[in-house]
Amino acid sequence: MGQGTSKENFLEDVKRPEHMPLSGHNALQALYRAEILDSYRERIEISPTNRISRKTLKYLPELHSISKEIPKAELPWPNGQVIWMDPSSDNGLPHTRPPNLICLPSTIPNSILANTLLHERVHISQRLHSVEWESIFKNAWSLTPWKGSIPSDIQLRRRINPDLIFVPFFQWKKQWVPLSIFKSLTSPDLKEVDIVWWDTSSRIIHREPPPNWVDFFGDVDQGHEHPYELSAYMIENKSPTKAFKALEPLLASLPTNEL
């Protein structure tokens, strides 16, 4: 038997807007407004390595409507506004844009659609409620926003991730800043990256994780570039890590409003 829904949750859920997925002209308009807010595509053009990594890829929505059913979000996650993208856009990588756009390749298999949407809806929550998320990361993971600078040669190799664009760096235990860098400088590929850690004390890049990182966060993968990605993957996959056990109880404090 299913679990009952409280009156408060029911009323709150009724207020949450659901948006029909966008394509064609409406999607173009939404992406244009997003670019005004985050300058994502402009940042790509300014960065030689990021520009090369996308030189053969389009960045356009699908022109025609796509007949895929979008599962409704469960609290506390926002529904967001899905945009169906040309499959080559950002090499088919799902991502978000402001204020609440979820950009999905139109060819995404139904078998992974629900989990992918959950991941991206976590990112929308992070966009809408960044202050609350920063508090959670500080209390659960000892990760805080970092506004220092990294060397120009490392900055050149850093993959720009639209989900992280407003808060690109976090520092762990007041020392370590995880980063995602392209494996190749001459032939960068969006899906071929390494996770490294900038030691703000010694000002040295480390390719091995800091002491106790793996014990707490688990084996290193691409999600370890940033707490936004770490948390989204952990929530999507119900991670058995110590980090997720510390994170999960705090998620109930997140706001549930869409905008």
Spans of all domains in the chain: 24-253
Indicate if the pLDDT at residue 204 is higher than 80.
yes
Phi, psi of 158 (to 5 degrees): -70, 130
The fraction of the chain above a pLDDT of 90, given in percent, is: 85
Tens digit of pLDDT for each residue in 119-177?
Answer: 999 999 999 999 999 999 999 999 999 999 999 999 999 999 999 999 999 999 999 99
Q: Which residues pair with 158 in a beta bridge?
A: 181
Residue 176 to residue 233: CA distance in whole angstroms: 20
Residue 90 to residue 159: CA distance in whole angstroms: 12
Residue 188 to residue 182: CA distance in whole angstroms: 6
Q: How many helices (H) and strands (E) does the chain have?
A: 10, 8
Question: What is the predicted pLDDT for the residue at 2?
Answer: 40
Indicate if the pLDDT at residue 13 is higher than 50.
no
Question: What is the predicted pLDDT for the residue at 57?
Answer: 93
Task: For tokens 């970092």, name the residue.
Answer: 146
Q: What is the mean pLDDT of the chain?
A: 92
Indicate if the pLDDT at residue 64 is higher than 50.
yes
Mean pLDDT value of segment 173-193: 97
Contact by Cβ (8 Å): 94, 85: no
| Sequence-separated (6 or more) residues with CB below 8 Å from residue 84 | 21, 22, 23, 27, 61, 62, 65, 66, 68, 104, 105, 106
Q: Which residue has the higher pLDDT, 202 or 71?
A: 202
For residue 230, give Cα distances in angstroms to 141, 186, 212, 224: 11, 28, 16, 6
Indicate if the pLDDT at residue 101 is higher than 80.
yes
Confidence of residue 19 (pLDDT cuts 50, 70, 90): confident
Q: Tell me the CA end-to-end span of the chain in Å, nearest whole number.
A: 33
Question: What is the predicted pLDDT for the residue at 5?
Answer: 37
Question: What is the predicted pLDDT for the residue at 258?
Answer: 75
* 227-237 vs 110-128: helix crossing angle, rounded to 10: 140
CA angle in degrees (0–180, nearest 5) for 125-99-102: 70
Indicate if the pLDDT at residue 217 is higher than 90.
yes
